[in-house]
Amino acid sequence: MKNLFKYLKPYLLFTVIAPLFMFLEVAMDLMQPALMSKIIDVGVAGGDKAYIVKTCLLMCLCAILGIIGGAGNMLFSTKAGYGFAKNMRSALYRKIQSFSFANIDEFKTGSLITRTTNDVTQIQNAFVSCIRMLIRSPFLCIGGIVMVLIINAKLSLVVLTAVPFLTVMIVFLLKKGKPLFMSMQEKLDRVNTVMQENLAGIRVIKAFGRADYEKKKFKKSNDALCESTMKAMRMMSLSFPLINLIMNVTMILMYYFGGQMVFEGSINPGEVMAFSNYITQILMSLTMSSFTLMFLSRAGVSIRRVNEVLNTVSDIQDGKDTEAKIEKGVVEYKNVSFRYPGQSGDNVLNDISFTARPGETVAILGATGSGKSTLVSLIPRLYDASKGSVFIDGKDVKDYTLNSLRSSIGVALQENVLFTGTIEENLRWGDEEAPMEEIKRIAGVSQAAQFVEKLPESYDTVLGQRGVNLSGGQKQRLCIARALMKKPKILILDDSTSAVDLKTEALIQTALREVFDEMTVFIIAQRISSVMDADKILVMDNGRIIDSGTHAQLIKTSNVYREIVVSQLGEEAVKE
């Protein structure tokens, strides 16, 4: 909780004020039985009508003061609670944005969503009912006990006998409850994850006709969720009748002893009545606080889960040099090796060294799984090298701030993810402020303009999540345009033209060089035609660069390269 305190800070005033108002309300509530017993013992017993009227008016006044307290408490506690939750969600989301992929994998998307929404809501609810109930209840309870003591100390001993029973019971319930709530939230994660996967993979599910299988899978996680919710809720519902029972027994005891005392003449019947009223009040307050405590223990679980996220240190830390900017775009790998964090097995990259200069196009070729994508993902620091370093303009990439580093690098990824929104909005990811002509110009370079402008709503066409309503090649062309919008010093095209036909690809490459002649370009591709004109071709195998050079050189020197060429273009291409 300490950890989360800072999110409450802006609302500290509300948090403090709310209980004060509650105090007012409770004080007024407490006055009522006392005044009433006065009406009976003084007014009625003495036949004093004026006193009855006076006391009655006093009670009305108390009621009105009470509402001010009650409403004020509601107002401030709600504001504080929702504000607290807002800050917490915001902090969580910021943290998640700073996560590395290893971090995200560790939590899973479904769980991160549960934590940012559901868990925060749990904490918020507990917090609000806490500053409402948990404070109201002890006030009521303690106030009740004080009043009882004032009326008759001897009789109030009876009330106190109930305390140990109640304590034992509440502690027992809380202890039992906690693990149940934990498992409840975990099961909720699971439901969320299954659902998220289903939505993302809906095409595959439909294609394989696996709806029933998925339903079964969902049923399993849903049943588990219901099972564990039921267990937790059962636990919670035990508390109410049990507290009632204990307090009612106390009531009987009180009546018994009170009765004795009335017979002895050491207490008035009106006072016994007040006693029973206060016991009811104490009972209610204890029931409420046991509920609140349950809430709290549920929230405790959520707090832990939220803290897990907040306390996770991102694997990728921001660079220190805030001044550093990429001017030219000279990329140099020095003895770089890499393996995915937390995974055993061979290195994905082994001892990679090469240099790429502005204006150069470096193509990377190699078998599936040979480490091509991994190699380029070290440049924008999607991952950090395990050994060795990547330098840009002579400076280690780790020294640039992530923002300055990534804003100079344009990447079109293999998985072409577009976001819900219009085409224009998606392109603006690369440059918020670009004028429309610029967007059109860049879209022209990536050969996206032709098809976009043919759409009825052109750049205002709304894309579904992940750009579902476009073809693969169209998405890729938009992704390239999006990357180019940044006017990057370094451009990485990671197999991002695989679904583009060859003619269009050739057009993209030509246009690219005409417009951005000083850019360092990395191209990962399978097609020889995509890489043939590169200034340097790196041939990769099993995480190593086995050959490098131009097309003309490699055809002579590299067996692997020659094989690839033959596989695509036939023997003629290598004969020369």
Ranges within 521-560 binding another protein (CB under 8 A): 526-529
b/e burial code for range 78-95 (CB count within 10 A of at least 16 → b): bbbbebbbebbbebbeeb
**Total residues found in the chain within this entry:** 576
515 vs 574, beta carbon nearer another protein: 574
Q: Taking CB under 8 A as the rule, does residue 13 contact another protein?
A: no
Taking CB under 8 A as the criterion, the residue among 369, 518, 556, 557 binding another protein is 369
In whole angstroms, the minimum distance from the beta carbon of 11 to another protein comes to 11
Dihedral, CA atoms, 500, 503, 508, 514, nearest 10 degrees? 170
Stretch that binds another protein, among 133-141, 296-304, 325-333, 453-461 (CB under 8 A): 453-461
Cα torsion for 221, 223, 224, 227, to the nearest 10°? Answer: 160
Confirm or reject binding of residue 206 to another protein (CB under 8 A).
yes
- Residues 356 and 520: beta-carbon distance below 8 Å: yes
Check binding of 451 to another protein (CB under 8 A).
Answer: yes
In the bound state with another protein, the residue whose beta carbon lies nearer, of 5 and 213, is: 213
Residue among 27, 34, 108, 391 that touches another protein (CB under 8 A): 108
Q: What is the DSSP letter of 526?
A: S
Rounded Cα distance, 481 and 560, in Å: 33
Contact 522, 490 (CB under 8 A): yes
Binding footprint of another protein, residue count (CB under 8 A): 209
Task: Report the greatest alpha carbon distance in the chain.
Answer: 125
Stretch that binds another protein, among 133-141, 148-156, 300-308, 401-409 (CB under 8 A): 401-409
Our finding on whether 2 is near another protein (CB under 8 A) is: no
CA 574 to mean position of chain CA atoms: 54
| DSSP H or E run through 410 | strand 409-412
In angstroms, the Cα distances linking 76 to 65, 235, 323 are 17, 31, 44
DSSP symbol at 47 = T
**Among 61-69, 136-144, 355-363, 513-521, which window interacts with another protein (CB under 8 A)?**
61-69
Binding of another protein by 8 (CB under 8 A): no
Eight-class DSSP state of 313: P
Residue 35 makes contact with another protein by CB under 8 A: yes
263 Cβ neighbours under 8 A, 6+ residues apart: none
Region binding another protein by CB under 8 A among candidate stretches 6-14, 149-157, 209-217, 390-398: 209-217
- 386, 422, 550, 553: which one contacts another protein (CB under 8 A)? 422
211 near another protein, judged by CB under 8 A: yes
| Binding segment (CB under 8 A) for another protein, from list 142-150, 305-313, 321-329, 414-422 | 414-422
Please, what is the minimum distance in Å from the beta carbon of residue 62 to another protein? 7
By beta-carbon proximity to another protein, the closer residue of 2 and 172 is 172
By CB under 8 A, tell whether 23 contacts another protein. no
Identified binder of another protein from the candidate list 16, 313, 468, 552, rule CB under 8 A: 468
Q: How far apart (Å, rounded) are the C-alpha atoms in residues 388 and 378?
A: 11
Binding residue (CB under 8 A) for another protein from 3, 12, 93, 150: 93
In the complex with another protein, the residue whose CB is nearer, 145 or 490, is 490
CB of 479 to another protein, least distance (A): 8
Q: What phi, psi does 378 have (nearest 5°)? A: -80, -20
CA proximity to 108, closest of 300, 308, 304, 299: 308
Site for another protein in 184-203 (CB under 8 A): 188, 191-193, 195-203
CA distance 192 to 118: 11
Q: Determine, following the binding rule CB under 8 A, whether residue 12 of this chain makes contact with another protein.
A: no
Residue 455 or 511: the one with the smaller Cβ distance to another protein is: 455
